[in-house]
């Protein structure tokens, strides 16, 4: 198997991986957030969809259940969370394709996907890797395709600023808090970059973004 660059597992330590799903559900109102992210993507039958940094496959499976006739792919660098995702897929009987790989060097051909998702993944990356991951997403999107992101965003009130100030010490989240994700998306070539909504959570502001790859 091809070796991947050193990475930080879910919650930083492999022994915490099994707690990832229950903690995410309580910290981020996960179902509400991911349902909104899928709804804004307007996925259609026959489209190819990629969930980058799919983790334990929660969003990946929700995408497939929302549009059963889409071809849905999940990619993550961590083999342990991918094993959990595979077990979930087997238990639900959903046909999704899961692969190990990194967001900064996607193992797919140019213009392969109609929709790409990245949910609570980019804040784990350094600024340089965030920018490279967005360039890779642009590369593998078809013209007219869309990128849909849920991640830490710029706080909209003083309480969220306070929480974000604390959270920034634990992750590579400072760029997000400064509102730079839309800037990085535009720099990668995306157009119509928009923050569609945001949520106040106990861990800080989570924003949803939509961006498109121009047809020409």
pLDDT for 5 equals 45
pLDDT for 122 equals 94
First-last CA distance in the chain: 37
pLDDT for 70 equals 98
pLDDT for 211 equals 98
pLDDT for 1 equals 35
> How far is it, in rounded angstroms, from Cα 4 to Cα 67?
31
Is residue 172 helix, strand or coil?
coil
**Assigned CATH topology for domain 27-212:** Rossmann fold (3.40.50)
Block means of pLDDT (10 residues each) for the chain, 216 residues, are: 47 47 58 94 98 96 98 96 95 96 98 97 93 98 98 72 54 80 98 93 85 94
Give how far Cα 118 sits from Cα of 2, 10, 52, Å: 23, 15, 5
Looking at the DSSP bridge assignments, the partners of residue 197 are 208
Domain boundaries, the chain: 27-212
């Amino acid at each position: 198997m091809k070796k991947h660059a050193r990475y930080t597992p879910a919650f930083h330590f492999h022994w915490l991986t099994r707690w990832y799903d229950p903690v995410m559900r309580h910290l981020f109102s996960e179902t509400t957030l991911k349902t909104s992210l899928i709804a804004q993507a307007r996925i259609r039958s026959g489209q190819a969809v990629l969930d980058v940094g799919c983790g334990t496959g929660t969003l990946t499976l929700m995408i497939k259940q929302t549009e059963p006739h889409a071809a849905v792919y999940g990619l993550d660098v961590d083999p342990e969370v991918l094993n959990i995702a595979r077990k979930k897929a087997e238990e639900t009987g959903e046909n999704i394709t899961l692969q190990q790989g990194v967001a900064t060097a996607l193992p797919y051909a140019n213009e392969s996907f109609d929709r790409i998702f990245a949910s609570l993944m980019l804040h784990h990356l350094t600024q340089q890797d965030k920018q490279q991951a967005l360039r890779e997403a642009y590369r593998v999107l078809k013209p007219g395709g869309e990128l849909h992101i849920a991640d830490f965003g710029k706080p909209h009130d003083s309480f969220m600023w306070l929480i974000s100030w604390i959270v920034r010490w634990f992750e590579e989240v400072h760029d997000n808090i400064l509102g730079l994700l839309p800037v990085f998306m535009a720099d990668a070539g995306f157009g119509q970059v928009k923050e569609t909504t945001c949520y106040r959570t106990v861990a800080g502001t989570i924003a949803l973004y939509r961006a498109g790859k121009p047809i020409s």
